[in-house]
Structure 1
């Protein structure tokens, strides 16, 4: 159950019964959770919102409202502050007894949502840019599932166009027969470099690209030889990062099969126009304030374009999944591209504008520019994982601990992923491996350490923790109250994080929760001999629910809790 929603609904239901407010507009009322707890557990600006409508001062309005809100049985204190804010404090027994219901999230209108993230390239090493789309996409996928949505995840792989032609031309030129994953990763960059000074090779790559895209059996057979190698390499990274498997790994090659029906839709609506030999769709609107180039379906050579295959991929998802919403997660450089694709998708009746979303993300750099390996080469995603793993191993040694290799790997992956999630998705950030593996501060290891510490308390308790109700004569301490209220804010945070498509909201909540848990750990002893049985039971109940919320948050971020740290 969502505590915030419960409180908001009860306050608003009470307001509409007040005679003086029967004819006023209450739609702009805001119920807030104050950061400063001296202002209460909840606060509302209703008195200031209604000044113009009621022609009274905020305090006069607040004094009208107060007697009605006081009747709500979950409120212990209510007062007027400042110019007319109404501050509300909840009863101890109410919030304590409420925590057993806090993870029961039910949304009224679950959707079928297609999530497009990953976008790995065949025969190319995954790079640092793939980290954000993978980690943020996976977390949004987990959150959506948790909320009750049906999700269908797509890794829209790059397996089409000239990159494939260059790889195949390189294999042909060097008469390569046995291909390993490491060798496959090197073919494309070597082919690109060679093509810079060899026009014949580049022309050959273009010919192979055209023949492959037209279904030539020789090049299709070669593609079928190296695609499993590339897919296995992708899956190895997915598994190491602890991501959910993609429901579909389909790329431009699959989308190209649906170009014909998409072209028919375009021609049926007279949308395709010829321009310098290309087939385009004019999508500029009178309200545009920035340049909006036309959508190109076929280029001047008659070849289909990246725009066309992305539109065809949307068509495929429409006829196969019929989703309520499609969400893409790519870097900011593709913003214009998706604006174009979405406009054409709307014009041919595939989706309404509000059903299509492009969530872009910022870039990751090292302290001195692009991330590099020790030998000075651009760092791939596996390189980054190894760099963090080595930093985590070093940090564990410095702490004087001896941990299994598997535990260090868990710490390293948590460090890498949490560091990405806690930053605003749309912002750039600087990555430093030594910083992210620290056991203090806003780091993944700190989150895992808190979970391990809390779990150890629950493990040491030999008695079963049963659901109990708070006795009226027991007064919660400030830290107990603060921790319970943070636990009870979990449902709101999860819904808010998804609504905003902002995984940093979840990550920052998790850090704040851990800080309260650690303060609770130090200030509220549980298993010590001098703690009376009633207090121990209450605190165990709080600890159990805190761990449940923390465990769920950690799981939603795709992290794993080790048995020791």
Structure 2
């Protein structure tokens, strides 16, 4: 379906054109004074400069033409030439009822569906997920879901860190603990054990111990670096041990990401790009894109318009070793070969902006990625404690994501028990759903690029702009619908009061909000929208007795309207990766 506001804009634009003005001046916006009108057109003021006429005179001409239509309830001119508009209920009624009949509530598939890769997750194997992984995972998941909902072909890739120095550290620490394992015997030619020589709990103890030792002991660091090189050169035992690390880690990561309602289509890592590096480096050299700088191989990516220096993209170090950036560039080569995407979207901490700027420039300058296609980087802010610093445990360490989830789930559980509205055997699962909603909505309702304060009390509240408040609105609608018997007849949704009219107007913005959320990579716009919808619905709910309403025609209209409200909010929540419980 066309957007409701575009339908209004088209009508107004046509009348501008009929009166001799460019139709661009007929653009309509939602009024910021809903007490005066629903929509407003300010084009007469802009047109006045071009056509040398008083804006009010232009507005009068256009309004006279609009009054000949049977579309608007009221059109007036305010101030120097603002056109204030109220649409007739028939227009609103038709649009909202068409939404109710549509499977996607009026949101159309993209006219030109794209192939899109979303690179999010970014976890390192052998390490547990911590709070720093939260934003990448849930923002990326929302963007992926929204793109799919709009009809694009979307592939989500976890892009694991599985090939760096941390693997060498783990290998050497395992060797110190269990030197007799066959992985360390270079003369061993048999089959390596199928079972890993460690559990996930043991693995999560191994890495921090190894990292701490390597930072304080030069020999330990040297051993870790040597093990990393030998692994990457194909040492058989180390490859087998690395595969165990990968298997154990990925199984645990899948469980943890799943608990967040985050799912990836691809579980590839840095290691998968390694085979593409030699040919890529040869291509860059053969085509004259590289030069030597202090022994290293680089690609200049600075542009004449740069206001500050942009360092060259480092392809290989002076010793010929590849780097994190090399792997990222090779991953683009791999993705082009495997999926030929129109867009690749990256989620990472905003402090990595320089890296992605260099990477994208290099990929396009060297024609590894088509200049007409999109490489996009969403640099997100940090989750901070009330002290304004990155959120940590009471002991000052980085908090595990699992522990964070448990903290907010516990806070929500107490409220659910106090409400006494959920059966005892369903309290835990309800606390899980509502707790995750509190956590994810608390994050996603903030603009992705900004830092925010993690406030458990505020996020877990059942009132205000919170996940639990949105869920409670849906649960309230479910409860109403369970008490009303539908007639089975086709019902026309129509307004019987201003609050219903406000709710219907807000519903018409659904497709507009979803498209804008994807285009701007802004899940917070979906959060703002469902908060507004929930507030208007609750105003309506508090003003009317839906279940006991004696006027059956009115009651049926109300039921059809709140059913659509429920569908719209639930769809938005699904795009945010948030579940809805049956009761709260």
Task: Determine if the TM-score, normalized by the shorter chain, exceeds 0.5.
Answer: yes
CA distances 1:238-262 after superposition (whole Å, capped 9, x unpaired): 111112x211111110011111221
The residue aligned with 2:191 is none
CA distances 1:144-187 after superposition (whole Å, capped 9, x unpaired): 11111111111111011211111111111221762111121222
CA distances 1:216-237 after superposition (whole Å, capped 9, x unpaired): 2111100111211100111111
The residue aligned with 1:331 is 349
The residue aligned with 1:446 is 469
Q: Does 1:405 align with 2:414?
A: no
User: In 1, Cα distance between the equivalents of 2:85 and 2:299?
Assistant: 57
CA distances 1:28-56 after superposition (whole Å, capped 9, x unpaired): 65421113212322111111011022211
Please give the residue correspondences for 1:80-119 in structure 2 after superposition, counting only pairs within 5 Å: 80-102=77-99, 103-106=105-108, 107-119=110-122
Please give the residue correspondences for 1:241-280 in structure 2 after superposition, counting only pairs within 5 Å: 241-243=260-262, 245-280=263-298
- Residues 71, 229 of structure 1: alpha-carbon distance in 2 compared, 3 angstrom cutoff: farther
- Residues 142, 459 of structure 1: alpha-carbon distance in 2 compared, 3 angstrom cutoff: same
Aligned partners of 1:100 and 1:545 also within 8 Å: no
User: In 2, Cα distance between the equivalents of 1:504 and 1:333?
Assistant: 21
Q: Does 1:168 align with 2:171?
A: yes
User: In 2, Cα distance between the equivalents of 1:420 and 1:342?
Assistant: 28
Q: Which runs of 5+ in 2 are unaligned?
A: 100-104, 182-196
Secondary structure of the corresponding residue to residue 156 of structure 1: coil
Aligned partners of 1:465 and 1:541 also within 8 Å: no
Q: After TM superposition, give the deviation of residue 5 of structure 1 in Å.
A: 2.2
User: In 2, Cα distance between the equivalents of 1:545 and 1:135?
Assistant: 26
User: In 2, Cα distance between the equivalents of 1:90 and 1:457?
Assistant: 30
Q: Which stretch shows the higher mean deviation, 387-396 or 334-343?
A: 387-396
Aligned partners of 1:120 and 1:158 also within 8 Å: yes
Q: Which stretch shows the higher mean deviation, 234-243 or 91-100?
A: 91-100
Q: After TM superposition, give the deviation of residue 409 of structure 1 in Å.
A: 0.6
Please give the residue correspondences for 1:173-212 in structure 2 after superposition, counting only pairs within 5 Å: 173-175=176-178, 178-212=197-231
User: In 1, Cα distance between the equivalents of 2:48 and 2:530?
Assistant: 38
Aligned partners of 2:14 and 2:23 also within 8 Å: no
Q: After TM superposition, give the deviation of residue 304 of structure 1 in Å.
A: 0.5
Please give the residue correspondences for 1:375-386 in structure 2 after superposition, counting only pairs within 5 Å: 376-386=396-406
TM-score (norm 2): 0.92
User: In 2, Cα distance between the equivalents of 1:35 and 1:554?
Assistant: 26
Secondary structure of the corresponding residue to residue 309 of structure 2: coil
User: In 2, Cα distance between the equivalents of 1:365 and 1:63?
Assistant: 53
The residue aligned with 1:141 is 144
The residue aligned with 2:187 is none
* Match of residue 496, structure 2, among 449, 465, 476: 476
The residue aligned with 1:313 is 331
* Match of residue 483, structure 2, among 457, 460, 473: 460
Aligned partners of 2:460 and 2:466 also within 8 Å: yes
Secondary structure of the corresponding residue to residue 178 of structure 2: coil
Q: After TM superposition, give the deviation of residue 374 of structure 1 in Å.
A: 5.0
The residue aligned with 1:556 is 575
* Match of residue 151, structure 1, among 154, 163, 173: 154
Secondary structure of the corresponding residue to residue 462 of structure 2: coil
Q: Which stretch shows the higher mean deviation, 58-67 or 74-83?
A: 74-83
CA distances 1:174-211 after superposition (whole Å, capped 9, x unpaired): 21762111121222221111012221111111111111
CA distances 1:283-310 after superposition (whole Å, capped 9, x unpaired): 1122111221111111122110111100
Q: After TM superposition, give the deviation of residue 524 of structure 1 in Å.
A: 2.5
Aligned partners of 2:9 and 2:26 also within 8 Å: no
User: In 2, Cα distance between the equivalents of 1:162 and 1:306?
Assistant: 11
Q: Does 1:485 align with 2:488?
A: no
User: In 2, Cα distance between the equivalents of 1:148 and 1:370?
Assistant: 37
The residue aligned with 1:122 is 125
Aligned partners of 1:317 and 1:323 also within 8 Å: yes
* Match of residue 55, structure 1, among 40, 45, 52: 52
CA distances 1:443-470 after superposition (whole Å, capped 9, x unpaired): 1111110000011112211124644346
Q: Which runs of 5+ in 1 are unaligned?
A: none
The residue aligned with 2:14 is 13
CA distances 1:471-507 after superposition (whole Å, capped 9, x unpaired): xxx8631100000011111110111111111111000
- Residues 146, 475 of structure 1: alpha-carbon distance in 2 compared, 3 angstrom cutoff: closer
